[in-house]
A and B are shown apart, each in its own frame.
Chain A
Amino acid sequence: MTDKLSLSELQLIIKDSIYLAMPDMYWVMAEISEIRENYAGHCYLELIEKHPDDKNVRARVKAIIWSNRYRFLKSLFENVTGEQLRSGMKVLVKIKVDYHEIYGLSLIISDIDPSYTAGEMALKRQLIIKRLEEEGVLMMNKELGFPFVPQRIAVISSASAAGYLDFTRHLKENSFGYVFYTALFEAIMQGTETEQSIINALERISVNAALFDVVAIIRGGGSQSDLSWFDNYKIAYYVTQFPLPVITGIGHEKDLSVTDLVAFRSLKTPTAVADFLIGSVSEAENYLNELSTKIAENTRTIITRYRDITESFRTKLIPVARLALSDRREQLSNRIIEIINIGKEYIIRAGFLPKNLSSRLISATGSFIFANKTCTERNRLDLISFTMSTLENVKSRLSGLENTLNILDPVNVLKRGFTLTSRDGVIIKSAGEIHEEDTIDTQFSDGQIKSKVILPQMNQEPQLQVKHTNNY
């Protein structure tokens, strides 16, 4: 303990010792707990190892990727994993232990194995999926009924994201002219705050779930997208429990995140989500049109069927009606003949023609027709015209009868020169009833005379004698 060392001498001894003890490169598994890039492009990290059970940090060390390596490793890593290097990520790095007299111990990273990280991420994802499966919730959002017309959309995105603007414009400019209503629930779509931010948005939507048809979680695409933020148990669990179907369009070409996996439907881009919604509405409209066409077709069929039935009834009915009509006609003409006969008798009996006979006939016939109103209109018209012509017939026959009647009227007979002989008011019809010295009355059309019989004489034919005694 006689020699005294300066601090720098000590540091150099440590540096040499480490160099001698660990001259090689080593592949080391670690978790990134901090990462930052400085102005010169060098990348400074803090690597840790957590205890697998209690998650306590059991090792911690500084690490550096010099800018010339970092540029190359960064793009390789992102190409393979689709992710950026970030805290919380497990990495397999090739290091050389370095000791600096001022900065102390650090690991100089010369290589990163991206497939290790990809595998770790896949494993982590598998664990989340397994957990959701065990809880029996994995498929719950997919099992929801999808609305007929998803027109009212709750959007979770960041307002400034290009993806969000694409989405709303695409919906608005749809070629069908459908109306969509969107309400944006802003959230942080990347980084450590993603989880809480998206859960907050989902909670705000669920309060007003009745106002919406679907939820769309969208984010602009591009190579910068970091899918692993959505490989998140909490977000995925919320989605499975959400009362509305959740559609994702979080912009990843290669893989699906756990959130995509549990969503009702996952699509690659926000525009694809918009297309899906437009397509759903269009499907609903097509279905509606189909129903409408079917209703029209079926209605037409029913109407045609009824028309055919009616037509067949009509065809069957016509001969029956004709038959019935001819029966009626016969009855009617019988009745008319009866009426004529009654009329004739009446005229002959009464010796005069009631002025209203013909009108009574008409009204009687009319009521007869009325009683037979079950005939079709056409039949009724037939009957009426038939009746009218029959009535015309009756009228002319009646007027013939009237002429005959006029000829037979005693007044007219007297006018033609015949006389009526009576004795004591009793009409004498035979010369044999008159005796010599009888006083008889002779009635002329315009007066009467009284005369005394000088010589009564009987003829063989009384009619001739009557003729003879008249001064015709």
Chain B
Amino acid sequence: MAKKEFSFSDAMVEIDKILKEIENGNLNIDKLSGEVKQASELIRQCQKKLRTTEEEVNNIFKDLI
């Protein structure tokens, strides 16, 4: 697999980090929009991972058995 696999847990850690920054109020208003955009993109990818079948995984599993 050449492409880097999206990791749900890494994404969660990243989202959590962004939330902490926002909560602590350390975030500059100019950076806020960028961070929120990044968080929502990660959330979208996580949601997608839960419900979208990756044929790649199915194929790998088929080859294993």
Contacts and interface: CB of A to CB of B under 8 A. Distances in A.
Interface stretch (A30-38, A80-88, A287-295): A287-295
Given A179-B53, A302-B27, A294 B19 contact: yes
A352 interface: no
B20 to A, nearest CB: 10
Nearest to A309: B29
Interface string A269-313: 000000000000100110110011011001100110010000000
B47 A291 contact: no
A148 B65 contact: no
Given A295-B39, A302-B27, A302-B29, A288 B57 contact: no
A185 interface: yes
Nearest to B7: A148
A: interface residue count bin: 20 to 34
Contacts of A185: 65
A178 B64 contact: no
Interface of A: 147-149, 151-152, 176-179, 181-185, 208, 211, 281, 284-285, 287-288, 291-292, 294-295, 298-299, 302-303, 306
Contacts of A149: 8-9, 49-50
Given A149-B8, A177-B51, A295 B22 contact: yes
B12 A287 contact: yes
A179 B58 CA distance: 11
Interface string B33-65: 000100110010011011111100110110011
B19 A295 contact: yes
Contacts of A152: 57, 61
B36 A295 contact: yes
A281 B50 contact: yes
Contact of A298 (B19, B50, B60): B19
Q: Which 10 A-B pairs have the closest CB atoms?
A: A183-B61, A298-B22, A148-B9, A149-B8, A181-B57, A179-B53, A148-B8, A292-B43, A291-B15, A177-B51
A183 B29 contact: no
A288 B46 contact: yes
A348 to B, nearest CB: 60
Contact of B65 (A176, A183, A295): A183
B53 A288 contact: no
A185 B65 CA distance: 7
B59 to A, nearest CB: 10
Contacts of A303: 32
Contact of B43 (A178, A181, A288): A288
A150 B24 CA distance: 32
- Of the listed residues B19, B27, B50, B53, the one surrounded by the most CB atoms of chain A closer than 10 A to its CB is B50
Interface in B1-32: 8-9, 12, 15-16, 18-19, 22-23, 25, 27, 29, 32
Contact of A148 (B12, B27, B43, B61): B12
23 contacts: A149-B8, A149-B9, A149-B50, A178-B50, A178-B51, A179-B52, A184-B65, A185-B65, A281-B50, A284-B8, A287-B12, A288-B12, A288-B15, A291-B19, A291-B39, A291-B43, A292-B15, A294-B19, A295-B18, A299-B22, A299-B32, A302-B27, A306-B29
